[in-house]
Structure 1
């Protein structure tokens, strides 16, 4: 990826600085020559796509289409992508409806290439709307190359915001989060959940997530995160806890811990050399 975003610092302070300068960076990202060329190609060609086969046959179009939904990892799985698009979303048996990651359903619904309707690729404004999604996702990916925590935080702000205002039930919203790896990672870290939490029974996970949401944010619902203050707190908790984990696992931190153990051993050795038996606290205070 040719665009390199400016990340002034790591940690929560760096996150606040990034948010402050993001509008200018996003504009620069969109104006990068390679992105301008890809966008123009998409606008010129997407109107010729009227079937799933048309889309998967054009790798350049397919890359933008998949990336707009965070599914770029499937760029080489043409048969799978074609099946997603051809099935549509109307039946519970359709492939996109049977997958835990609902990004596939959104992808299929957005294009409307199942043959039962006029392809949405022919709709006015389709290209620009999808390119807007593509730019957002690609900017996040560029940020993620330098700081993956910031990428996950940006993704969470966008996706949780949409999920919080949806008409789905609260349980469905929580299950959607559990089925979306990036969102799950943010919530588990923000809530202080242990490694291996995802191995628990799914209903037990649901109960724990609701309980943590209630205790930390005042309500058990996902809908509460439509409030900007609660969303900010969720992201702040995630970034701070992730920064602490990274620091605790860093070589520098491990070296400091080792030095601490060495100093402690030296102190204990000195005490043993100068005292035949330890003193009690009562003796020191008397």
Structure 2
């Protein structure tokens, strides 16, 4: 039986609960028989997958390999995944380098099947254990998301956003990388209270809007600030509060009576947002 991690409640209160109970819940989840079986099988057999074809031909190995990069939904696209792995990442024209999804490049680079320098990593113990650790983390996130996808988005944002921070990358390029990852983009677009229509604008104009909104709310347009845990916490706080504004308050919402009064007076979402922010 697979342990089902949960926050118990939704929204910002649920996120705070999840953070307080996360360590214990992860420990229990990782001891679930299903997870242990997948991990043990991968640990014992990944060294036999000497080619990309070997890997995609073994569904149990592929489950962990794709799950380690949050790509579990691609499990049935064997030819697609094999092509990504076979071509590696060293050639600028490699398939993984031409895709908009950076996780495919990370997958191909990690396994190294198509790379001349270094070659395949499957015989390395350090590689095997790194893939297992990644798989456990992302499987926990996926399981949390089955109950509340906003919690999964928040866990992913907290982990992934700082990994995109590169001092050698320009601000504009960094924003493009962030906007190119839909889960990260969704969190920021919600936290920034951006209209869905923004996605229909040119990519350059979208980048300007994201940067301007960051400058307005955080005092800087530089994505490097997401390396600061306090900034990440603030973005997640705003994400959950704006989700609450979108879905409307419940009797459990702090300041519920005042919120109802504000709504009855036809005050906008910004007034409601400000009240919510004052209650936390």
CA contact (8 A) 1:143 1:151 kept: yes
Q: Decide which moves more: 201-210 or 123-132.
A: 123-132
Task: Name the SS of the counterpart of 1:16 in structure 2.
Answer: helix
Task: Please state if 1:90 is matched with 2:110.
Answer: no
Residues 149-188 of structure 1 mapped to structure 2, 5 A cutoff:
149-165=150-166, 167-188=168-189
Kindly state the Cα deviation for residue 172 of structure 1 after the two structures are TM-superposed. 2.0
List alignment gaps of at least 5 residues for structure 1: 250-259, 265-286
- In the alignment, the residues of structure 1 paired with residue 47 and residue 217 of structure 2 have an alpha-carbon distance, to the nearest angstrom, of 48
Kindly state the Cα deviation for residue 118 of structure 1 after the two structures are TM-superposed. 3.0
CA contact (8 A) 1:68 1:133 kept: yes
List alignment gaps of at least 5 residues for structure 2: 251-260, 266-280
Aligned to 1:35: 35
Kindly state the Cα deviation for residue 247 of structure 1 after the two structures are TM-superposed. 2.7
- In the alignment, the residues of structure 2 paired with residue 248 and residue 97 of structure 1 have an alpha-carbon distance, to the nearest angstrom, of 44
| Rg larger in structure | 1
- In the alignment, the residues of structure 1 paired with residue 125 and residue 154 of structure 2 have an alpha-carbon distance, to the nearest angstrom, of 32
CA contact (8 A) 1:51 1:115 kept: no
CA contact (8 A) 1:101 1:176 kept: no
Residue deviations 1:167-192, cap 9 Å, x none?
43322221111111111100100101
Residues 191-210 of structure 1 mapped to structure 2, 5 A cutoff:
191-210=192-211
- In the alignment, the residues of structure 1 paired with residue 199 and residue 72 of structure 2 have an alpha-carbon distance, to the nearest angstrom, of 25
Aligned to 1:217: 218
CA contact (8 A) 2:89 2:115 kept: no
How many residue pairs get matched?
A: 253
Aligned to 2:13: 13
Aligned to 1:272: none
TM-score by length of 2: 0.86
Task: Name the SS of the counterpart of 2:147 in structure 1.
Answer: coil
CA contact (8 A) 1:66 1:74 kept: yes
Aligned to 2:143: 142
CA contact (8 A) 1:7 1:18 kept: yes
CA contact (8 A) 1:63 1:72 kept: yes
TM-score by length of 1: 0.84
CA contact (8 A) 2:215 2:221 kept: yes
**Root-mean-square deviation (CA), in Å?**
2.0
